Structures are given as structure tokens and as C-alpha cells.
Amino acid sequence: MDSFEIRKKFLDFFSERGHTIVPSSSLIPDDPSVLLTTAGMQQFKKYFTGELDAMKDFGSQKIVSIQKCFRTSDIEEVGDKTHLTFFEMLGNFSFDDYFKKEAIKYAWELITEILNISTERITVSIFKGDKQTPHDGESYKIWHEIGLPENKIITGNRTDNFWGPTGDEGPCGPTTEIYIDNIEVWNLVFNEYYKEKSGKFAKVDNPGVDTGMGLERLAAILQGADDVFETDIFHPLTSKINDLTPGLDQRIIRILADHLRACIFLAGNEVLPSNKESGYILRRLLRRILAYKIKYDIHADIFPESIKVIKDKFGKIYPELKETEKILKILEDERLKFQETVGRGIKEIDKYSAITGKEAFYLYETFGLPFELIMELSPAKIIKNLKKEDFDKEFEKHQKISRAGAEKKFGGHGLTLDTGELKAGSEKEVKKAIQLHTATHLLHWALREVLGKEVQQMGSDINPERTRFDFSFDRKMTPEEIKKVEDLVNQKIKENLPVYSKEIPKEEAEKTGALHFFKQKYPDIVRVYFIGSEASGGIISSEFCAGPHVNYTSQIRGVKILKEESVGAGIRRIRAKIE
Ligand code: SER
């Protein structure tokens, strides 16, 4: 049974039982609690909480989908037979419709009757309960009634048999997992709780079902394949890699196949390589591919070749993959940018007889080699004493030095300001640069309002004359969009919103969704600048930032956008001045 047939059988089964088929949402989620879509339920979160009405939007309270997912938690595991970063998740969902009994029966019927897996191969697990939420005896009873003997129903703890919430609050509940030949394939989540911010689990009166089954693992089982890379899903790509570079180790082929497929899907879903958030995830995967390309002498053009294979295999289901030129450009731009530097970094490693945190940080800073890649590319004997915490310490030390530099220049010399981002030399200039600094935060906010939340800051440079702001966006802005951004900024200046900062523990600050550079190391206590307050109609902007800023937006007077231009693939630059 090939993967197309499996997808079809799954969708047909649930659609025949009253489920509406909903297409996969993008890998970029509409949910700030995660960087990338990690589960099928993400696009339906608001139906579980009751904020949205599924009957109104889908004509049914029962949904079936096949969702593109990406999980960073397994990156280090990739290379074995089962772990992947990108995968497809088959799922059925009920929003206050059916619950445990039907969900378990559907799963059983699909697996044993439609997919013809013999019952002896099946084991399940259920939640054993703890101080926070009780044992899921109901699921136990249902499995027992279906005919599973006691020794085939095992109990698991919270880590294994309780799902969610994604983020610090939201729907969640006990799970029952289905194993075939001891491989976990299907996770049935019973959302009967809402975890509140306080940590309390409140029972909900609209319980729902959220299930997820990894397509690749299921295909491996149904195709009698020894691992997911031998299924029809991966075979065209692994054999292409093997043809291009015969003799590569299996583990390297698997990592390349997983990462190449993931990068192509990420780029197809408009993720651009950058130093933060999902952009950094893409960059990290790409750098690993590029490092392998050098280390294992892979001379072929693996990007265009893989894009073609992936398009042929998945283009019918995911039309974004047909934009092969766009995807290729994103990957190739990154290759041109990093191949040489990463290559020099790899050569640099050879010069060391020992690498500790200090050298590793130097390699990271100078050649862009992420810590994990240094660990992987270096001979074991020279990294004996390399510890992640030492690397992190170096990172922090470096941050402190640059922050201290900024403070000294500002505080110490009175009238000069040089934070790296802001530069000014006289009192008058300092005042203007500060106005432009706050204007830059407003501009960042307005761009995300007008162009979408995928806009991310890529850099900024402020002098008394103008602010120059770089951001990720893949096309030219229209004159209307530019005008809209400018108008929004000026409107907020007129509204005279308060601008203020707070020092808060980093973790708390991250939870508020304050904008910051993902993966940049921040100290444990960070300063966050806010624009707007509850009293003024809500906070519109919050960013990790050392300042300085004006106290009220009206102190900026007005802002004019001078120019919008491209500064490389997927990066736009805006210049603006105070009027
Ligand atoms: N949300 C659950 C999971 O991701 C079931 O879909 O495993």
C-alpha cells in the first residue's frame, strides 16, 4: 500500500463517518506558542476552546486532516530509522461531538479492518494518573471491551500519556497511544481539560478529541519496510542521493534526506533563512547539509536535484512545491552565502588539538558553525573537554561585553551614543536618534500589521538623519502598502502612547511574545520596551531592547518613509526620517 493509498484510505474512512476534510495549514502557524506547526490540532485550537464554531466554519463538528508538521525536538535523533524533523500527520478531530468510545472504536476499526493489521501486533497505553489529573479508567474499559487483554493495555505517566497544552495554557488531556509491533503510531488525545496560566487543570464542558498518526511510520509498517527511509515516501530521494554520491554511510543518507525534504517544505511555506525563530531552524538544517556536502565530497547539485524529486513525489498534494524556482533560489542564496565560510570553518577545526567552549564559540562566531555541528564534525579526541555549558558561558560573556560597551558609550560620554544600532554625537543628534529609535519599533509593528506576522526584523541602523530597517519579506511592497504603514505609524504618534520599559526574567518576557532574536543569548533578566498601555487601548509593541526611547510617541512628531528596496533574497530595507 503506497503512501497515496494510505492517505486516501484515512480520509475516506473518516469522511464516510461524517468528518469534513480540511486541508493542511501552513508550516508557519497562526499560533504564537510555537515557531512551526508541530501538530494537526494547531489550526483547530480555537474550536477546542469554543472561541470558534466548527459547525459554522466546516459544516460539521468532526474533522479529518493530513497536516504538514515540523518538530525540532527530534533533530539530534535524525539519522536513525524512525526520527524525522518534517513529517505528515494523519488526524481526526471532534469538537464537543464524539468522545473516547467512538474515537477508540474508529481507530481500532481503521487499523484492523481497513489497514488489515492483525490484532496480535497491537498494544496500547493509557494514562495512569497523578496528583494533577486522575487515571483514565474510561479508556481502559473501552479497550478492554473491544477485546484487548490486560497485558496489552499498559499504563504510562504524564510524559508519555498526557498531551498539551502547546504553550503555557490551553486545551489538553490524557492520551491513549496505539503501538504496532512496539512502534508508536497513533496518539489519541482526549481534551477534557484546560490548563490555566496558574497551572490549574480545569475540566471543560465541551471535551474534544485530537488524534495524530505519523504517516511515515505507518507506511513503514504497512510496506514491511525496515525504516521510514525505505518507504515509497523517501525512496526516490534516498536513491537519488545514493546515485549522486555512491558509498555514503546510511546515517548520512538519512540525515540528508530528512533535512533536504524539510528545507524544501520550509522554503515552500515561505520560511526564509535568518538568525531567529523558524528562519534559524531552516538555516541550521541548511548549514548541516552544506557541511556534509564538503565533508563527504558531495559535488553534485543536490538542491535542484532534490527539489525535483520532492516536487514529483509531493507536488500533487502540496501545490506550493511546484514553485521550484522560488524554492531553489532560497536554498541557493544560502548556499552561496555560507558554503565558503562553513568550508573554512571545517578546515579551521583541523588546526586544533583540543576544542573547549572558548574555541567553539570562536568557530561559531567567525564561521557560523552551530555548536552541534562542531561536535559532529570534530574528531572525538579533540572535543573530549567540550561542554555545552562552557560554550553558553562564552556566549554570555560576549553578550555582557557588548552590552557594557554600549552603556559606557552612552552613559560615560554624555552626549555620544553608540549602541551598535544607534549612533549620535551631540545632544541634538542624540535626541533625533532616540526619536528614530522609537519610530523604528512603531515601523516594525506597522509592517507586521500590514504585511503579516511573518515579517521579522533582520537588522537596523539608526543615525540622526534616518533609520534604516531591514526585514524579511519576499517581494516589493506596493505604494499602497507603504502608505498604509506610514499612516499607521503616524496615527500611533498622534495617539501619544506611553513608551516604557521593564526588566523581567527572560522566560517570562519570552512568554509575553515580546519580539526578540531567536537563538540570540540573552541574560536571565532582560529589558523589554512597550508602546501603549491597557489604559491607552492596549500594548501594541513589545520588544527585547536596551533603549533608549522617547517617553511618549508624540515626541517623535511625524515619520516619512523615504525608500523601500531589496537588499538580498527575501530581505527588504526601509529608510525613514522624522518630519
Ligand atoms: N496533538 C497530538 C500529537 O501531536 C495528537 O494529534 O501527538
Name the residue with cell 560576549: 398
The CATH architecture assigned to 3-222 reads 2-Layer Sandwich (3.30)
- State the Cα–Cα distance between residues 69 and 51, nearest whole angstrom: 24
Question: What are the angstrom distances between the C-alpha of 367 and each of 287, 324, 523?
Answer: 11, 29, 24
What integer pLDDT is reported at residue 399 of this predicted model? 67
- State the Cα–Cα distance between residues 186 and 245, nearest whole angstrom: 36
Assess whether the C-beta atom of 163 lies below 6 angstroms from ligand 1.
yes
From first to last of its 579 residues, the chain has per-residue pLDDT tens of 999 999 999 999 999 999 999 999 999 988 777 889 999 999 999 999 999 999 999 999 999 999 999 998 888 889 999 999 999 999 999 999 999 999 999 999 999 999 999 999 999 999 999 999 999 999 999 999 999 999 999 999 999 999 988 778 889 999 999 999 999 999 999 999 999 989 999 999 999 999 999 999 999 999 999 999 999 999 999 999 999 999 999 999 999 999 999 999 999 999 999 877 888 899 989 999 999 998 888 989 999 999 999 999 999 999 999 999 999 999 999 998 888 888 888 888 988 999 999 999 888 877 878 888 899 889 999 999 999 999 989 888 876 665 554 444 444 335 456 666 777 777 778 888 899 999 999 999 999 999 998 898 888 888 889 999 999 998 899 999 999 999 999 999 998 888 888 888 888 888 878 888 766 677 788 888 999 887 777 899 999 888 889 988 998 989 999 999 988 778 899 999 998
- Cβ burial of 511 (10 Å; 0-12, 13-18, 19+) is middle
Beta strands in 4-44 (DSSP E): 20-21
∠174-177-183 over CA atoms, to 5°? 150
Q: Considering the entire predicted model, what is its pTM?
A: 0.70
Q: Is the C-alpha dihedral spanning 358, 360, 361, 365 positive or negative?
A: positive
Is the link from the previous residue into 165 a cis peptide, with omega within 30 of 0?
A: yes
Assess whether the C-beta atom of 214 lies below 6 angstroms from ligand 1.
no
What integer pLDDT is reported at residue 402 of this predicted model? 53
- The residue nearest atom 3 of ligand 1, judged by CA position, is 212
Which superfamily is assigned to 434-578 in CATH?
Threonyl-trna Synthetase; Chain A, domain 2 (3.30.980.10)
- State the Cα–Cα distance between residues 122 and 20, nearest whole angstrom: 28
Assess whether the C-beta atom of 39 lies below 6 angstroms from ligand 1.
yes
- Could you give the count of Cα atoms lying within 13 Å of 259 in the half-sphere of its Cβ? 28
- State the Cα–Cα distance between residues 275 and 435, nearest whole angstrom: 27
Q: Tell me how crowded residue 58 is: count the other CB atoms within 10 A of its CB.
A: 19
Contact 125, 181 (CB under 8 A): no
- The residue nearest atom 2 of ligand 1, judged by CA position, is 212
- Could you give the count of Cα atoms lying within 13 Å of 180 in the half-sphere of its Cβ? 21
The ligand 1 atom at the shortest distance from the C-alpha of residue 40 is 6
Assess whether the C-beta atom of 210 lies below 6 angstroms from ligand 1.
yes
- State the Cα–Cα distance between residues 88 and 438, nearest whole angstrom: 42
Q: Tell me how crowded residue 131 is: count the other CB atoms within 10 A of its CB.
A: 6
User: Which segments of the chain belong to CATH 3.30.930.10?
Assistant: 3-222
Q: Look at residue 438 and give its three-state secondary structure.
A: helix
Contact 354, 385 (CB under 8 A): yes
Nearest to 296 by CA among 351, 348, 247, 239: 247
Assess whether the C-beta atom of 189 lies below 6 angstroms from ligand 1.
yes
Nearest to 538 by CA among 568, 498, 490: 498
Assess whether the C-beta atom of 208 lies below 6 angstroms from ligand 1.
no
What integer pLDDT is reported at residue 292 of this predicted model? 92
What integer pLDDT is reported at residue 464 of this predicted model? 87
User: Which segments of the chain belong to CATH 3.30.980.10?
Assistant: 434-578
Assess whether the C-beta atom of 177 lies below 6 angstroms from ligand 1.
no
∠271-275-280 over CA atoms, to 5°? 50
What integer pLDDT is reported at residue 458 of this predicted model? 84
The ligand 1 atom at the shortest distance from the C-alpha of residue 69 is 4
Assess whether the C-beta atom of 212 lies below 6 angstroms from ligand 1.
yes
Contact 553, 497 (CB under 8 A): yes
- The residue nearest atom 6 of ligand 1, judged by CA position, is 212
Nearest to 456 by CA among 519, 515, 521, 510: 515
Q: Tell me how crowded residue 487 is: count the other CB atoms within 10 A of its CB.
A: 12
How many A from CA of 146 to the centre of ligand 1? 23
- State the Cα–Cα distance between residues 303 and 301, nearest whole angstrom: 6
Assess whether the C-beta atom of 307 lies below 6 angstroms from ligand 1.
no
